[in-house]
Homo-oligomer: A and B are copies of this chain.
Amino acid sequence: MKDDKIITKWVYTFGGGSAEGTAKMKNLLGGKGANLAEMAGLGLPVPPGFTITTEVCTYYYANGNTYPGTLKSTVAAALAGLEKIMGMTFGDADNPLLVSVRSGARASMPGMMDTILNLGLNDSTVRGLAKRSRDERFAWDSYRRFIQMYSNVVLEIGHHNFEEILQNLKDGKGYKLDTDLKAEDWKVIVDRYKAKVAEKLGKPFPQDVQEQLWGAIGAVFESWMNQRAITYRRLNEIPESWGTAVNVQCMVFGNMGEDSATGVCFSRDPSTGENTFYGEYLVNAQGEDVVAGIRTPQQITIAGRNKQKSDLPSMEEIMPPLYRQLYDIRTRLEGHYRDMQDMEFTIQRGRLWMLQTRVGKRTAKAALKIAIDMARDGVISKEEAVQRVDPSALDQLLHPTIDPKAKKTVLARGLPASPGAASGQVVFSADDAETWVNAGKKVLLVRVETSPEDIGGMHVAEGILTTRGGMTSHAAVVARGMGTPCVAGAGDIAVNHKARTFSIKNTTVKEGDVITIDGATGEIMLGAVPMIQPELTGDFGTLMEWADSLRTMKVRANAETPTDAAQARTFGAEGIGLCRTEHMFFDPERIIAVREMILAKDEAGRRAALAKLLPFQRQDFIDLFTIMQGLPVTVRLLDPPLHEFLPHTDAEIAEVAKAAGLDAATIKDRNAQLHEANPMLGHRGCRLGVTYPEIYEMQAQAIFEGAIAVTQKGGAPVVPEIMIPLVSTKKELDLMKAAIAKMAEQVFTATGVTLPYQVGTMIELPRAALRAGDIAESAEFFSFGTNDLTQTTLGMSRDDSAPFLEVYRAKNIYEKDPFASLDTEGVGELIKIAAERGRKTRADLKLGICGEHGGDPASIMFCQTVGLNYVSCSPFRVPIARLAAAQAALGAKDESQK
């Protein structure tokens, strides 16, 4: 709640050597505004401007799309300040001040929010601009750009209306390029544009510059709620409540001739993380020309030019003093922010202006290298380095790469825009990508260039290939953010949308054909090329080592096969948190005995069948315990309902009947008998153990005999952790624990060897969480089975939720998929309750998580706050969990130091 006595400051100015804001005010000023203020405060050449805060956006949506009462006068004052600094006047026919109006949210949302340039031009000021710039062509070109941009963003008149007019004129005049148009041509275009606006709008294009300004400000705020922004926020988990700021800034022009330019640069290579200045620019162009990827940009450095094998001269070569100034600014900004910077600049008639700086997006590989390099150089601490790498992005580093020994047919080469190799069937639209993926296919999205509308398709594609645009094009930026391999700007490729093909020289690739791209080299290859697994050494190994030294939670893996267990150890797992014994039952050799057990008429029959399973199950544990070398292994006893093991189609039933010497009717009867309306809530978990104790007895016997066998062979000592699933009340656990203890005694007596073991339970039902205090009297550990706990707490079947969960996410009912990232408010509270009540009963109760959420960084953060001892996840997510656990520990530390 805001104190009524404090008058809210809605607008912050910057420029002219000072600024009211700082980089720390991102929440209020947005990323762009905060960094512009910071740069201006540092005395860097920033075009003066002001930022309307995100609080205005919040106010706007909370008050029926209206502004705070004092906003208009405050903006007017800020504008007067700009006029004073620039010695120009907004709307002045002689010396007009022009401004840009840009959105700027707390997090970068590339291409999502609409921008308006050259605002302040009208039929009168355009003449002033022409006079002052001494370039009538430039002035009218700027005006027509403004009309088009403003009409599109504010007046919602589609681009195509204007492109048609331009094309018609070019066709009539026989022009091929926009640069062929003369000042007079642009004047004609402007007239026609205005006529089109009047026709579409029913009134003329606004000539009042104040009307233009407020129209643009409103459009920025409105754009916060457009569908693309909503989709982007959903995909990137950005809360709607943040809102956007609006930046109004004096225009500088990179398109005022050959001594003007505009560019984007990074203080280090955003793709590899190398400490080399890296960037692209275009001479005589406006900023959007670079980002849109319409013209292939030039490299800023000579080294960059050599690396890209570009024919176009670098800025280092043709504008050496400006290059040095930019290089100095780059060094200063990176030093100031202690992180790699992504900067935009414009050169207007030989003068350099910084338009933006922000922490640069980077590939996981680059993030890793930059973090390790900066820590090694003493710029940041080891803790900071660990916090600089997004755990989810590590996936990229675990991506396969092309096997160097593989035979490959390289069709063409583009820019290496986002690392990792990917194969998939070619599709030519984002919609097709989504449709094909929904049908179970893997696709490679091929586009001339991508736009925000393509986000959905880009998200599901294995890889992305574009034929236009550079390393900072939409496709490249988005793909890196998503961790999706991408090759951009492969200009040799000609896409034929109608035929649904693309061709390179003599080769034609049809929709549905498989190709492979290598986002690290830019190669495009025919067919599916063999790949190899990444090595987990070097910087990656260092980061993991640092993470391990900082985290307090252990990381285990969910694994049951020797292959998975070995993989888990390679990735650094410190034990097995969930060995699902039922997975061992499906082996063809065993399933016969499993079915015999299920089809048995009585306990004696079941015991006979279980006796056949025992040697297999024992060997499973011998293998597992041998691989895990004394690390803890949590074995969950049989969990799924028995009908899952029976055949269901007529053909399968006939086959099984024949093999088992039974008639098909018997199997069908048993199937019918075991059929359940809601198997998820049915006869499974410890309910099987209670009704058929002999099953759990056999499993306990196999565990104890297996552990003893490994110990007797001289293996590391094994302390099995036996886990009872689906417990809802202490009595169930008591019964099962007693049966296990009896079996332990039996095996210990028979072998003459005794070993310690633990019995614990899954906490995967709300009742179990609530009754954790009782249950902990019997349980020596809890493992939160958050998959089932989510299903029961939300009353939502994971298998059935897709059709409505998609709508739910679109309608913003759930911000995240609760099966991917823990619902901390609901499921999380139950975990908290269970942890507290359990530990109250048994102070040294071991707590872990073994649902899918155990590999999700946000969920791992939650696990830290609740005080879990370990997380357990799939082997491939172990490195992610290790890093996330370290960040969680650091976060918890930060929290405790506040």
Residues of A within 8 A of B (CB): 676-683, 687, 690-691, 726, 728-729, 731-732, 735, 764-767, 770-771, 788, 791-797, 799-801, 803-804, 807-808, 811-814, 823, 825-827, 829-830
Contact = CB atoms under 8 A, between A and B. Distances in A.
* List of 8 A-B pairs having minimum Cβ-Cβ separation, nearest first: A767-B826, A681-B797, A678-B797, A766-B766, A765-B795, A682-B800, A677-B799, A676-B800
A726 B676 CA distance: 22
B691 A803 contact: yes
A880 to B, nearest CB: 27
A277 B729 CA distance: 49
A677 B677 contact: no
Nearest to A729: B813
Given A676-B799, A677-B679, A691-B803, 13 more contacts: A681-B791, A682-B797, A682-B800, A683-B801, A690-B813, A729-B813, A731-B813, A735-B813, A765-B793, A765-B795, A766-B766, A767-B826, A788-B795
B767 A800 contact: no
Nearest to A790: B767
Contacts of A803: 683, 691
A682 B797 CA distance: 6
A766 B793 contact: yes
A830 B731 CA distance: 20
B683 A827 contact: no
Contacts of A814: 729
Contacts of A813: 690, 729, 731-732, 735
A766 to B, nearest CB: 4
Contacts of A811: 690, 731, 735
A801 B807 CA distance: 32
A898 B732 CA distance: 36
Contacts of A682: 797, 800-801
Contact of A804 (B691, B793, B808): B691
Given A793-B766, A793-B767, A795-B765, A681 B800 contact: yes
Contacts of A791: 678, 681
Contacts of A677: 679-680, 797, 799-800
Contact of A797 (B676, B690, B765): B676
B731 A687 contact: no
Nearest to A814: B729
A767 B794 contact: yes
Contacts of A788: 795
Nearest to A728: B794
A804 B770 contact: no
A795 B830 CA distance: 14
A800 B679 contact: yes
Contacts of A808: 687, 690
A813 to B, nearest CB: 5
Contacts of A728: 794-796, 826
A519 to B, nearest CB: 37
A680 B678 contact: yes
Nearest to A673: B803
A763 to B, nearest CB: 11
Contacts of A799: 676-678
A681 to B, nearest CB: 4
B800 A830 contact: no
Contact of A770 (B676, B681, B687, B830): B830
A726 B807 contact: no
A792 B771 contact: no
B767 A795 contact: yes
B804 A792 contact: no
A364 to B, nearest CB: 33
A679 B803 CA distance: 13
A800 B812 CA distance: 34
Contacts of A732: 813
Contacts of A830: 766, 770
